[in-house]
Structure 1
Amino acid sequence: MELKIISPQEGGFVKEIQWNNEELKAEISEKMQDYKNLVFTEETIKEAKKDRANLNKLKNAFEDERKRIKRQCMAPYERFEAQVKELIGLIEEPIRLIDAQIKEVEEQKRQEKRKGIEELFGSIGFQNFVTLDMVFDEKWLNASVPMSKIEEQMKSRMYEIGNGIMTIRNLPEFSFEAMEVYKKTLDLPQAIREGQRLSEIQKKKAAYEEEQRRMAEEEKARKQEEEAEKASVNQQEEKHPEAVEEREELVEQPEKIVRLDFRVWGTREQLLALRNYMKDNHLKFGKVE
């Protein structure tokens, strides 16, 4: 079965379209020279439009002829192209049927090989949380990959997982949480990062709780001190009620200058300090008769 070109034979195709190209080129070039230095004015604009229309008409005439010749040259090729495509369509139909059957057979082989891989996985002795899907490689289903190679890769992966388990168990903190992540992902770096993340949270929590405890103790001490001061003031007021009245009077009239007679009990140093305080604040004072 061979495709034979009967007509035209090799060398029979049109190699050149002969026409008066040079003659027209010379004639048009000479006429176009007239337009290069031509300047149109408002009075001659009507002539300019007329010349433009004539030039466009000439250009369109050449374009129309070019398209006509192209259609003539392409017509036999387009018929030939359509005929060849029709033949290709007849050939492609059985190709599709054969291809579908080949794919079906290959898929059956892949399914059979997957069953063998499942059986091999069960005999390797993987950790109980590891499933076939977690370690499966699609390349294993290729016909070019022997079962011996798959077994080798499975065992290597099993040992790798075992080393990962040992690494996680040796973590100082949150090894359980990290192990849970590893069981789901088999991603050792991710599991370690999870343990570290939880450790950082724990440290921050401990620091926060210590700060809260310290603040609570400080608040408790402050309240106790306030209560002690309050109790001391109450005792003084019970012993010297006139001091309370005097203090209330000062609070009620802070802007007025008033006279206050009172007695003070204290050590010599305290009384001297009180006198100095009144002097420094320009308070007038004297002996009570």
Structure 2
Amino acid sequence: MAEINLELVATKTVAGSLETNIEQLERYVDTKLEEYKPELYAGDADSARKDRAEINNGIKALSQKRIAIMDELMKPFADFEARCKALEAKMKTASGALDRIVKDKEQKEKEQKRADIELEWQNRNFNLFALEKIFDSRWLNKTCKMSEVRRGMDEAIERTYKDLKTIERFGSDAETLKAHYLDTLDIGETLDYGEELEKNRKKVAQEAAEREIREHEQKLDEQRRGLQEEQKIEASVNRMSALVSAALEEEPKPETELPPKAEEKTFALTVRTTQTQMMCIKDYLCKSGIEYECREIVF
């Protein structure tokens, strides 16, 4: 098909050929305005109002004539512009129809290249993440060769193995971080996430230790309060017994008479302590003449 050869040629142009009486009007106005100086109207507002109207009418007439002359002067150019734009629109319509044919072919070529790229990816037997994770839309360009695509895939795979090895230094968090990395493929962000996990683990461990100490202190406080209550009750019972004895006027027992042996009871007490502290407790019980049975249990 023959090449379209369009060369717009101006067969006649006249530049700066507008001839008017503008110079005559300029001299006339400059002279005439001398008659309308403000100092000539001192105390005569009516005359000023009348002459102002005359000047405004002159401005309006000059403006209307200027616009009419310019419209007439620009008419050939406006017609020329409209006809050029009409030609351009016709040509754009034809170009658009051909553009659809070209783009349909380009789309089919991209689809075929995409299929070739996916086959290349499958041949690598790499299943840690899908192709979409690293797919570069520039791979579909005609200027991008398949050798560049293959190189991009291999570099991504090599980088992934290297990054996963780096992540393994996080020990117990490695598996969690590997999953995170395979989701983002951002080693920098993943390492930051690993550091945050480590900080949170330390916080949790510190909180657990502090809680154990706090709960231990609470338990001791409860034991102390319980012992104090028992002591209060025992003291109250002793006072009551003394009052009853006094009321019944019991005869005092000879000093040589031994006091009746207190009733023995068996108590079970579970303590959480160290081996050394347990030895001290046993020593105290022995010195106090208290029988005991001790066995280790698991809390």
In structure 2, the partner of 1:30 is 31
Deviations 1:124-158 (A, max 9, x none): 242x1211101110111111111111111111111
In structure 2, the partner of 1:160 is 159
2:36/2:51 contact within 8 Å kept: no
In structure 1, the partner of 2:256 is none
Q: 1-side partners of 2:221 and 2:59: how far apart?
A: 104
Q: 1-side partners of 2:177 and 2:34: how far apart?
A: 88
Q: 2-side partners of 1:52 and 1:124: how far apart?
A: 92
1:120/1:151 contact within 8 Å kept: yes
Cα 1:67–1:241, aligned 2, differ >3 Å: closer, same or farther? same
Taking only the aligned residue pairs, the percentage that are identical comes to 24
Q: 1-side partners of 2:205 and 2:131: how far apart?
A: 42
What secondary structure, in the 3-state scheme, does the structure 2 residue paired with 1:107 have?
helix
Counterpart check, 1:211 vs 2:210: yes
1:182/1:188 contact within 8 Å kept: yes
In structure 2, the partner of 1:254 is none
Cα 1:242–1:26, aligned 2, differ >3 Å: closer, same or farther? farther
In structure 2, the partner of 1:201 is 200
Q: 1:184 Cα deviation (Å)?
A: 1.4
So what's the TM-score if we normalise by structure 1? 0.75
Aligned 1:100-249 pairs, distance under 5 A: 100-126=100-126, 128-241=127-240
In structure 1, the partner of 2:93 is 93
Q: Which segment is superposed worse, 109-118 or 13-22? A: 13-22
Instruction: Name the aligned partner's letter for residue 20 of structure 2.
Output: W
2:181/2:187 contact within 8 Å kept: yes
Counterpart check, 1:84 vs 2:84: yes
Structure with larger RCO (C-alpha < 8 A, sep 6+): 1
1:110/1:142 contact within 8 Å kept: yes
Deviations 1:239-285 (A, max 9, x none): 234999xxxxxxxxxxxxxxxxxxxxxxxxxxxxxxxxxxxxxxxxx
1:130/1:183 contact within 8 Å kept: yes
Cα 1:23–1:228, aligned 2, differ >3 Å: closer, same or farther? same
The number of aligned residues is: 238
Cα 1:5–1:214, aligned 2, differ >3 Å: closer, same or farther? same
Deviations 1:170-226 (A, max 9, x none): 213421211111121212122222222222222222222222221111111112112
Q: Which segment is superposed worse, 204-213 or 103-112? A: 204-213
Q: 1:34 Cα deviation (Å)?
A: 4.3
Deviations 1:99-141 (A, max 9, x none): 1111111111111111111111112242x12111011101111
Deviations 1:22-43 (A, max 9, x none): 22212212332444552756x5
| Stretches of structure 1 lacking an aligned partner (at least 5 in a row) | 245-289
Deviations 1:43-92 (A, max 9, x none): 52222222221111111111111111111111112222222222222222
Instruction: Name the aligned partner's letter for residue 26 of structure 2.
Output: K
Q: 2-side partners of 1:108 and 1:122: how far apart?
A: 21
Cα 1:243–1:79, aligned 2, differ >3 Å: closer, same or farther? farther
Q: 2-side partners of 1:57 and 1:37: how far apart?
A: 18
Q: 2-side partners of 1:84 and 1:234: how far apart?
A: 115
Instruction: Name the aligned partner's letter for residue 15 of structure 1.
Output: G
So what's the TM-score if we normalise by structure 2? 0.72
In structure 2, the partner of 1:48 is 48
Q: Which segment is superposed worse, 109-118 or 194-203? A: 194-203
